[in-house]
Each structure stands twice: as structure tokens, then as C-alpha cells.
Structure 1
Amino acid sequence: MKTQVGIIGGGPSGLLLSQLLHLEGIDTVVLEKHSREYVLGRIRAGVLEHGFAKLMREAQCGERMDREGEIHDGFYIASGGERLRVDLAAHTGGNSVIVYGQTEVTRDLYKARDRAGGTVIHNAEDVRPHDIDTTSPWLTYRDGDEIRRIDCDFIVGADGFHGVSRKAIPNDVLREFERVYPFGWLGVLSRTPPVSPELVYARHARGFALCSLRSQVLSRYYIQVPLTDTVEDWSDEAFWAELKRRLPEDVAGALVTGPSIEKSIAPLRSFVAEPMRYGNLFLAGDAAHIVPPTGARGLNSAASDIHYLYHAFVDHYRDGDDTGLDTYSQKALARVWKAQRFSWWMTTLLHSFPERSTYDAKLQQTELDYLFSSDSALASLAENYVGLPY
């Protein structure tokens, strides 16, 4: 088999790139090691930057997002029993975010690739990139007992943190930067009405909490827990009781509880790999960078990578211009590190750190007080939350 761009990873990043390139007449093959059902069963973030939403529309995949997604012009930060609103629209010239689950984004992209007859190969085992430092890279994967080969002009690794793509870059070339946080988020999805029409980020001495939503009948809630905790340590009743303790009284009093549909613990990590290009292999999304979910930058940072790659490939094939490909890593990393900074800042501002001193606690409270006393500080928060320009 031969294609122009071979894509490792059938999550939203790989599918979005495949769909965008298809609309420009550029051929792709997507290799995904799991089944479609497995990919669609993963519960992930659901706050989309305005730039990401625009990219979905450009990919002709935004109709359901625009119809069913929740447009949010602001969100709340709760601390000391009070809720203070961050007005995103007022501080960004009218920009907003869309609350629309990553699972639904992925579902829409799959449907688009199906309509276009796109090649998405599931259950592709033992995927390996070859000759990535040459002008003729190729991929292999195992299909049952058969090893199959795909010849490519370029390979894009969008196969996540544990994928094979990043590992294909030589150790003496790759640099990795990481911070592991001493806690995780216990998340619960429930078929209950959301407690608030906008997200509530809660800072509390017992730990962080977040009230989010997927729709008007589907809610997503999180609490900060030690890394030593397991899902089995938390019954639904214990989760709801702890969540209520960390919320202002008016929010806790309005909370509608119910059985969990899904429950999981996600450790928090910051990670960046440099460079994001080696030869004709390009990394995108979690294959190259991870952020804590506090600032909702993970999926959105991946989308910015896809934006740069998409335009770079179009310039290459349409105009013979390789400027975008040659500057991809530098350009993508500049935005990635800004997203890292914002996620680190939000995480530091709102979480309770086990090693925190009384001095640290005072600084954290002062930072929060300053935020809501300064229009400039609120504008910086809002600008980053709705998404920096590509």
C-alpha cells in the first residue's frame, strides 16, 4: 500500500488531520491499534477553544458540535465559600469556548472519514515507522499473522504518550521535560443535570474540585485525590459527600446526585518532548506533550499542532513550499509551552499541594485575590482559556 501521509493514531488528532488533508486532495492512511468501540469508549475533556471549533467547521465536521455543544462565555472560580465569575467574552472581545465532549468530536470525525471513504485501519498491531530520516519513510503493522507495509511521503505520530512514534526518535536527539504532580483527579460521569450552567473550579483546603458538564442531562465532576487512591476506594456515596464538602453551600445544596456511569482516576503530569520533527516523522498531540487538565489545554494543544501540520502539508503538495514543514517543530512548540505555562499556573493556583508551607498558602490566596482585583490579570486568564491565536 502507498499513501502520501501515514498517520499513526486514530484519535481526534489523527482523524482531524486526515479529514482536513482529504478535503485538499491529499491521501492519508490512519493506523489505530484499538477498535473503534474502544476509542469511542474513552472519556476525555470537553472544553473546546474557539480556534478548535473553527478547525472542526473547516473540516466539515462542526454541524452537530454547533447544534448540541454548549457555548460558554465564562466560568466560575470558587474559594472561601464564594463564587467569582471570569467573564471570557468581556475580556477577549466576545470569544467563548464550546463544551462538547471529546468522544463526540471523535464520533463526528469518524463519520466524516466514513462518508469520504477514508482508510482508517483498526486493530493494527505492532505499528512501526521505518527510515524516518530518509525521503522514503514507511510503516509496518501486523494484521493477524500478516505483516503489512505502507510506503509514505511523511509519517505523523498522533499515537499518544505511550505510542511508538516518539520512541522512534534517537535518544541523542530527543529532549524530554516533565513534571509529575503529587495527586490525581477522580472523575465521575453521571446522568444528572449539571449543578451550574457554567463550569465551577473550586479551591478548598481539602483539595480541588471541578463541576463540569457534557450536556443538560449529563454531568462530569472531579475531585483531587492522592496518587495512592484507587477507584475502588471511592463509592459513589463517598464521592458525592466529598464533592459537596469542597463546594460553596449554594452549589452543594443544588447538586443532583446519581449513579456513576463512568469513574476513573487520572494522574496529573506536565510533559514536553523536543523536537516535534525528526526527518520525515512529525509528532502531534499527546505523543509530544501532555498538560494537567486544569486549564483544558490538552485536546486544544493537539488541535493547534494539527492546524500547523495541515497548512504545512497543503503548502508542500500544492505549492512546493516546505517552509511550514521546516518550521513546524519550532512553531508548534512555541504555542505548546504557552499552554504548559497556563496549565501549570491554573494547577498551582487551585490545588492543595501536600508539601505546601503556610507561606505557599498565603501566596496562593494572594494570587487569587490579585486575579479578581485586576482587569489585566483577568484578561490574561481569559485570553489563554479561550485559546491563543494560531
Structure 2
Amino acid sequence: MTLAARRGDLRGAGSADAVARGRPPPVRTPYARRVSDWPKARLHVVTGKGGTGKSTVAAALALALAGHGKNVLLCEVEGRQGIARMFDVDPLPFEERRLTSGLPDAGGRAGAVHALHIDPESALLEYLALYYKLGRAGRALDRFGIIEFATTIAPGVRDVLLTGKIYEAVDRNSRNKGATTYDAVVLDAPPTGRIVQFLNVSEQVAGLAKVGPIRSQADTMMGLFRSARTVVHLVTVLEEMPVQETGDGIAELMAADLPVGGVVTNLLRPQDLPAPALAAARSGTLDAEAVRADLEGAGLGTEDALVEDLLGLARDHADRRELEETQRTRVAGLGRPSYELPRLTGGVDLGALHDLARALREQGMA
């Protein structure tokens, strides 16, 4: 069963019937919007197994949230410059920069999406400048390589620095004068297998600092990360390993008392064949002569080898769809709000990101 059938409040009974018959649901009005499932969230953390498209989902979510004139900050912490590639801009420095307008709401009002590439060395220099007034002295330490040395021998400190900058972006204070105040922050986070370790910074520094400013900062950040103002969304695809890792990630987040958000099923394949045709393809009973007639009507070849190849492709497609439906049922059983996004055949550009943002907003994620 698809998301449309599971969540009848989105499309109505007619659409659920259409899905059951194997046809795509009707096109909905642009910019339609459900009430957000996460009205209290200020920090949206997006994680997922590698290859599921979590960076794309994070960018689309930022665009979806930037309506009603709101400012949204999209952050990345893995050093890949994925935001710059998706939005076709120069590599981002450690500096908040306006990227583009967000997704307009029904009244045509759009906010702005800003971006920030966070690296631990720059985060530490800013921390020293803000809290210890070590401007030039901090840069001198960087030249001697002390900062890189410190973040290498103490990985927990590295995560505290990265998450500390995210915390500062959510809870702006007087120390960072003139900085933009954001209505929401979206984090393109590390993969599912490392997300609890990354966010659970208080545990990370337990063996490094029992007291002092680093320990105090870690404890303060955990107050945000474990509150209703933070939500951790997980991205998956309809394959066994990513769905299993998503379920494991949800269990680990809950065990660490970190707030679990929704599950985004990404890269969905088009569902062009109706259910009877899929059943016939799986059983090998598709009408070969009907296929031959369709080829002839399209002005294509009708030789036996081509017809057999097409029947084989249809059988493979039907088998794949059956496996995907099994995984979709597993996702539905995870007990979290779920959202679905299609595979982008033309690649990821700003127009495609806006389409994905619209889909997330219509389904209630933003």
C-alpha cells in the first residue's frame, strides 16, 4: 500500500482507489499544504544510510521550510561540499551565505535559504574568538597545527565543535552580534550508523572532561538535542539493508533519548503498470501478441527476440515492485510518520529540489 492509501487525509478515497488499481494518483494543486507534523521543531537533523539521498532530502526540506518569509539555514558537516554542488555555487566557506528563495506558500510569500559549511578547525577558531577573545592568538594556533592535532587525538571534541556551531545557529545570543536569526536550521548530518555518536556529545566528552567549559557546552547542547525543538529524520530507499538500518537507527536514537522524526522513502520508481499487468508479468502470462501489436502500432520492430526481451524486462520490473512493496510495508511498521519522494530521472538541480520540497510540504513534513 502506498503513502496515499495509508494517509487518506492527503488525497481522499478517490486517490487511494486509483493507487489500488495501479494508476498514479491525480495531480494536486500546486503549493497545497498540510499542517506541519513538526510545528515545534527548530532543528531538523537529516540522516540516512549512504546512497539514500539524505543530502538531497535535507536541501528540499530547507526549501520547503522557507515559506511565509522565514529564514532557514542549511548546514553540512562532512566536508563534501554537497550543498554547493546541488545549488551550483562555488564551494562554501565557513560563513553563512544566502543561497536562494524558499518554496512560496499559497499567498506567494517565500523566505530565504542560507547555507553554511562547518569544519571543526574553523568552528574552534570562532569558539575561541567568541568566548575567549582569542582572535589573532587562535589563528596563530591554527598555523602551528595545534587545532588539527587536538581534533585528531580527541574525536569527541571534534563533534562537540561541529554540533556547537549548529547549537549557536539555533540559539543565537549577544556574543554573535549582527548574525542572522533563523526560524529553522536543517542539518545534513552524518550517516545513520554514526548519528547517535555525533549528537550524543555529552557522552562523547565524558572521558575527556568531567568539568570545565567543554563539558558545560556539551551538556547545554544536549538540552537542545533532547528537546521538542529538535527532530531527527531518517532517509531510506525501498531495499532491505537501508530499511533495516533505518529501523536500527530509530531504536538507537530512542535508547539515547534523542527525538525521532519521520522516515523519508526516497528514490521511488514510477509505478506505470497496473496491478493486473504486474501479476501477469510475474507469472509469465502477459499477452505476447498484445505486446507485438503495440510495437507495430508504434512503428517499431515486432521480431520474436524483441518481444521476449520486453516480456523479460516486465517480469524483472514486477519482481522488483513486489520486493519494494515488502519493504514499504516494513517502513509503515516502523511507527513513524512517513513521506515519499520520487526518483529524479533528470538529476538534481534547483527546479527538481523545488519539486521535492513541494512534495514534502504537501505530505506535512514542513
TM-score range (shorter-chain normalised) is: under 0.3
Higher helix fraction (1 or 2): 2
Q: Which has the higher contact order (CA 8 A, sep 6+)?
A: 2
- The normalised TM-score by structure 2 is 0.26
- The normalised TM-score by structure 1 is 0.25
- Between structure 1 and structure 2, the one with the greater Rg is 2
